[in-house]
Amino acid sequence: MIRRGTSAMRRRGWSAIAAGALGALAVMGAAAAPLDIPDTIAQRVQACTACHGEQGRATNQGYFPRIAGKPAGYLYNQLVNFREGRRNNAAMNTLVANMSNDYLREIANYFGTLELPYPAPGSHVALPQDLARGFALVTRGDAQRRIPACVQCHGDSMTGVVPGVPGLLGLPRDYLVGQLGAWRSGQRKAAAPDCMSQIANRLSVDDVNALTSWLSAQPVPKDSKPATATSQPLPLMCGSGSK
């Protein structure tokens, strides 16, 4: 009796193991089935959203800029700059290292055509004198130090100018400070002549603080599209401003 009982238990045990194995194989087979992933540019740029936010919207926090709605020519120039080492960011340098010009242009065109709402301005607290100084630099510049007004290049509404000049509103203050600092230190470069490097190196630390405080405090206008380029020349020769 003991032996027959033991044999029955063994048979039931093996049956359970076999059933479990068959279930596991079925699950593995289902997992191995090909996924239906659409081969679209929207799907392929999902890697970008890990840092730049859903659909490239970003937020008003941190060092990652919004790329949705930026002029496509500007986005393309920056991708090329990362690929060719004029801009340094380990993730970006690696990501675009082996991408062709055509593919970089496709990415830039995709994000450049997105029209998405902007977040509210950041909550940085600035002194009134800093905001006043920032406003003066944005709208009038400083002729004595050969600093052009920001609006002369970035547009009257500061939303950028097609094809190659970005808007400066809706960006985190930390990012603005970081980029001006990178130009001042030579860590960020653009195609020669590098007009932003020249301008950034004419700004004092107090200027940078005032500019970024004012810019990051401004709401983005309802019509956030970049302005259309005019025949009026830029105040400085810029190697990437019109490419």
Per-domain residue ranges of the chain? 41-217
Q: Quick one: pLDDT at residue 164?
A: 92
- Cβ distance 235 to 208 under 8 Å? no
Q: Quick one: pLDDT at residue 24?
A: 52
Asked whether residue 141 carries a pLDDT value surpassing 90, the answer given is yes
DSSP classification of residue 16: H
Q: Quick one: pLDDT at residue 28?
A: 52
Provide DSSP, 118-163: PPPPP-----HHHHHHHHHHHHT-BGGGTB--THHHH-TTSSEETT
What average pLDDT does this structure show over 222-239? 90
What average pLDDT does this structure show over 110-132? 91
Number of continuous H segments (helices) and E segments (strands) in the chain: 11, 2
What average pLDDT does this structure show over 163-178? 93
Tell me the pLDDT of the chain averaged across its residues.
Answer: 86
Q: Quick one: pLDDT at residue 76?
A: 97
- What angle is formed at CA 132 by the lines to CA 128 and CA 136, rounded to 5 degrees? 170
What average pLDDT does this structure show over 133-138? 98
Q: Quick one: pLDDT at residue 18?
A: 43
Kindly report, residue by residue over 6-60, the tens digit of the pLDDT: 444 444 444 444 455 445 545 555 556 677 888 899 999 999 998 998 899 987 6
Kindly report, residue by residue over 180-213, the tens digit of the pLDDT: 999 999 999 998 999 999 999 999 999 999 999 9
Kindly report, residue by residue over 52-89, the tens digit of the pLDDT: 988 999 876 778 899 999 999 999 999 999 999 999 99
User: Band of the pLDDT at 116, cuts 50, 70, 90?
Assistant: very high
Q: Quick one: pLDDT at residue 240?
A: 74
Q: Quick one: pLDDT at residue 27?
A: 52
Bridging pattern class, strands 160-161 and 165-166: antiparallel
Percent share of the chain, pLDDT over 70: 84
Is 41-217 in CATH node 2.40.10.220?
Answer: no
Which has the higher per-residue pLDDT, 178 or 29?
178
The tokens of 53 are what? 């936010």
How far the first Cα of the chain sits from its last, in Å, is: 91
Measured distance CA(213)–CA(35) in Å, rounded:
47
What average pLDDT does this structure show over 121-126? 83
User: Could you tell me which of 113, 122, 95 has the C-alpha nearest to residue 42?
Assistant: 113
Measured distance CA(70)–CA(39) in Å, rounded:
24
Asked whether residue 107 carries a pLDDT value surpassing 70, the answer given is yes
What average pLDDT does this structure show over 114-127? 87
